[in-house]
Amino acid sequence: MIASGRIGTDVPRVDGLEKVTGAAQYTADLKFPRLLHVAVVRSPHPHARVLDVRTEKALRMPGVRAVVSGRDFPLHTGIYLKDQTVFATDRVRFVGDPVAAVAAETPEAALEAAALVAVDYEPLPPIFDVEEGIADGAPLVHPDLGSYEVVPWIRPKSGTNVCNHLKIRKGDYASALAGSWRVFENVFRVPQVQHVPMEPHVSVARVDLAGKVEVHTSAQSPFTVRHLLAACFGLSHGDVRVHVPYVGGGFGGKAGINLEPIAVALAMRCRGRWVRFMVDRHEEFYATVVRQGLTATLVTGVDRSGKVQAQKMHYLWNCGAYGGYGVNIVRSAGYTCGGAYEFPNVEGDSIGVYTNRPVGSAYRGFGMQEIHWALEQQMDKVALEIGMDPVEFRLLNALGAGKATVTGQVLDEHAGRVDLCIRSVADEIGMDPGRQKTPYRGKGIACAVKAPAMPNDAASSVVMKFAEDATLEILIAGIDYGQGLMTVVAQFAAEALDIPVEMVRVRGCPDTDLSPYDWQTVASRQTWATGNAVLRGAEEIRRKLCDTAGEALGVPASELILRGGAVVHEATGRSLPLARLVMGYQFPDGHAIGGPVASATSYLPEGLLFLDPETSQSAKPVAKWTFGAQAVEISVDPETGQVTVERIAACYDVGRVVNPGLIRGQTYGGIVQGLGTGMMEELLVDTKTGRAMNASLMDYKIPSTEDVPAEMVVDFVETPQKDGPMGARGIGEHTMIPTPAAIANALYDACGIRISEMPITAEKVWRALKEKERAASEAGVAPAVPASVTA
């Protein structure tokens, strides 16, 4: 039998009910008898002291089983910086900050009781803007910042609104800038946006009579949820059990911890009862987490050849009210501030700033789309100002083997080829500098790079075991929420053991009491980390099978191979099917050897080193880099400002294409999500009241099928990752990173206007065109239309 499902082939997704514990089966089996429902009392103020919380009337309501507040649970949580209260204690910090919560027999009773909770506030001056927040004398969002628990590599500044500051210092920036031929400085901005997962956040919790906490939650990281709950409530990890069923979308918004502490707090007051907390779509927009905003100031100095000699990046991140997770985005953006380019002299500052906006957290790309929005437009502007083709300018300055990143890491030949990605998309879109141009049609390009932003000890593990018929079962704790993790796990195992993929069952829906450990399903790390753990497990299984078969056949184990579901001795042609070995082998006289074949293996990134605290220099600060590029062709309606993306080409160096269908799907989806954040998405907050003004799908636009480009062309480069499973590296987040910047650059090519603040809406384009016409009219010249004319 020939193994099917080889690496590099289109294997059907391994997530149907016939393959794994499916969503419908899970829902049918999962019963929550006597379920209690939660309503939360939220702050109406963006910033205020909490003077008193009175819950007596709410407690007297029929059907109410518990009412809790910060007086009952004065606790903090956070994955990197423990700055977020479960319920407000001394103050509230954004509109929607939880102050109290009710558990009742019906949703209606919970809502009625929550309305009876009385809270006395003393309003404080709010901060919504990062420049205001970082100014001397600004009101402090967290006066107690210096007392919070924090991991060693995050650096908040007590007595300020700075929750983290990462410095990059490479070479001699000041001297290089002074010696540059031309210098360019520009400012770019990115707003907060919402993840808009199809399934809102929801958690169900119970505390049994022995005190064990059990949580079912829609999350990306079951073991991190367990860890943070245990730390928050002072529990043993063995007394917290977390289940994660199929997740209806996350995009980073369900990483770390979210609703779970509120559900657990109420469950502690209602022992033995299940307590369910789900936000509605309106709350999802402002009361969970959002992507952080960014103000980026870039200064670039070039020599006469077009080589960048000095580069400054100054990032101010709008972390919102709490930075427990967002501080790591600040860090990640800092050590990736050079993007896909070699900059010999760098001054970089990535600074996280507290404001009274919704809570900033992880979002697909983890800060990379935001910094590339700035850097890739800067590269285009510099190239055009000095008279160079933007494609050639990028190729001249691109990273590659033997070149050093902004942290001083020298890349080897396995690190990836951004130059090939640039050439691929430029050729596909036809970005020849001598091309014939058409008014109001333009072409643009942008590069992308991302490394997994994770602790140096972020591990993944798997358990692999056989059923009696030699069906291979693989237990994982990584979350497959659409990216295809279960499928590629099955492919890796089938390839390594030379068995048909149909013989593999991947068990998802992790349970921290029963599943092997995994840090988090974030950072585009699962194919790489879990894939490596699977290959290690497969090697252990191969060795056990060959040892048993060797004894059974009377040949050295070293002479045996696995082929087509059997252990084969090629020299003699003798073989044993796996079904005769996986539970042990019995000889004709009745004695048996071996035993059930299984493995438990893990993978931990190797050789990672901390960044220097003053310069962020490090020989190996991250596990891997994934490079890519996108190029687009757009058309602009000058009457309405509407921009239409006609064609888009994407190319990424993925190391090894494991499943072409899945990786194309990831790329298409990332392009469309990038188009959404780039052209239409922005969470609008009223700077007088602090309230979200478009917290509904009626007012917050996301892409629909009508917004999908008419043509999307996807290509991949395969430079094998040295420590990747069969050479593969991560790709999930990277596919949306360069899209907005490529569109912005194409817009300038089309009509000579530049939008520096995301998103690129029709209104902004129309106003910029009108302003250009007005300026031309005042100057007494005809307005320049053309993509061929510099604005």
Token code pair at residue 483: 């990216």
d(CA 233, CA 654): 41
Helix (H, G, I), strand (E, B) or coil at 284: helix
Asked if 448 contacts 368 with a C-beta cutoff of 8 angstroms, the reply is: yes
* Residue position matching structure tokens 């005190």: 211
Asked if 418 contacts 399 with a C-beta cutoff of 8 angstroms, the reply is: yes
Average pLDDT over residues 365-382: 98
Q: What is the pLDDT of residues 172-196, one digit of tens each?
A: 999 999 999 999 999 999 999 999 9
Asked if 91 contacts 140 with a C-beta cutoff of 8 angstroms, the reply is: no
For 64-88, b where at least 16 C-beta lie within 10 A, e where not — what string?
bbbbbbbebbebbbbbbbbbbbbbb
Q: What is the pLDDT of residues 300-322, one digit of tens each?
A: 999 999 999 999 999 999 999 99
* Higher per-residue confidence, 522 vs 22: 522
pLDDT at residue 779, as a whole number: 87
pLDDT at residue 783, as a whole number: 62
pLDDT of residue 789 exceeding 70, the answer is no
Angle at 618 between CA 615 and CA 620, to 5 degrees: 155
Q: What is the pLDDT of residues 569-593, one digit of tens each?
A: 999 999 999 999 999 999 999 999 9
pLDDT of residue 361 exceeding 60, the answer is yes
pLDDT at residue 786, as a whole number: 40
d(CA 246, CA 224): 17
pLDDT of residue 2 exceeding 60, the answer is no
pLDDT of residue 29 exceeding 50, the answer is no
In the structure, what pLDDT confidence band is assigned to residue 10 with cuts at 50, 70 and 90? confident
d(CA 402, CA 414): 11
In the structure, what pLDDT confidence band is assigned to residue 323 with cuts at 50, 70 and 90? very high
Token code pair at residue 260: 């779970």
Long-range contacts of 695-698 (CB under 8 A, 24+ apart): 695/282, 695/283, 695/285, 695/286, 696/281, 696/282, 696/285, 697/196, 697/281
Token code pair at residue 269: 């007051």
Q: Note the pTM of the prediction, 2 decimals.
A: 0.95
Q: What is the pLDDT of residues 232-264, one digit of tens each?
A: 999 999 999 999 999 999 999 999 999 999 999
Average pLDDT over residues 653-660: 98
pLDDT at residue 785, as a whole number: 53
Token code pair at residue 433: 């500098």
Left (φ > 0), alpha (ψ -120 to 50) or beta: where does 279 sit? beta
Average pLDDT over residues 532-559: 98
In the structure, what pLDDT confidence band is assigned to residue 9 with cuts at 50, 70 and 90? confident
Angle at 81 between CA 76 and CA 87, to 5 degrees: 20
pLDDT at residue 17, as a whole number: 32
* Residue position matching structure tokens 């001394």: 90
What is the maximal distance between C-alpha atoms in the chain?
Answer: 104
Helix (H, G, I), strand (E, B) or coil at 167: strand
pLDDT of residue 4 exceeding 70, the answer is no
Asked if 677 contacts 740 with a C-beta cutoff of 8 angstroms, the reply is: yes
Q: Which residues, listed in sequence order, are joined to residue 354 by a DSSP beta bridge?
A: 320
Q: Which residues, listed in sequence order, are joined to residue 311 by a DSSP beta bridge?
A: 300, 346
Asked if 494 contacts 501 with a C-beta cutoff of 8 angstroms, the reply is: yes
Pairing between β-strand 275-278 and β-strand 36-42 as defined by DSSP bridges = parallel
Q: What is the pLDDT of residues 200-236, one digit of tens each?
A: 999 999 999 999 999 999 999 999 999 999 999 999 9
d(CA 72, CA 530): 40
**Local structure of residue 155 (DSSP, 8 states):** -
Q: What is the pLDDT of residues 740-761, one digit of tens each?
A: 999 999 999 999 999 999 999 9
Token code pair at residue 612: 């220097």
For 476-500, b where at least 16 C-beta lie within 10 A, e where not — what string?
bbbbbbbbbbbbbbbbbbbbbbbbe
Q: Which of 349, 366, 360 is nearest to 453 (CA)?
A: 366
All domains in the chain, ordered by first residue? 16-24+458-603 (3.30.365.10), 32-124+201-278 (3.90.1170.50), 290-454+610-778 (3.30.365.10)
Asked if the bond preceding 709 is cis, omega within 30° of 0, the reply is no
In the structure, what pLDDT confidence band is assigned to residue 781 with cuts at 50, 70 and 90? confident
Angle at 98 between CA 94 and CA 104, to 5 degrees: 155
Token code pair at residue 516: 């092997």
Q: What is the pLDDT of residues 47-102, one digit of tens each?
A: 999 999 999 999 999 999 999 999 999 999 999 999 999 999 999 999 999 999 99
pLDDT at residue 636, as a whole number: 98
With 0-12 CB in 10 A as exposed, 13-18 as middle and 19+ as buried, what is 269? middle
In the structure, what pLDDT confidence band is assigned to residue 22 with cuts at 50, 70 and 90? very low
**Local structure of residue 340 (DSSP, 8 states):** T
Q: What does residue 395 show for φ and ψ, rounded to 5 degrees?
A: -60, -40
pLDDT of residue 415 exceeding 60, the answer is yes
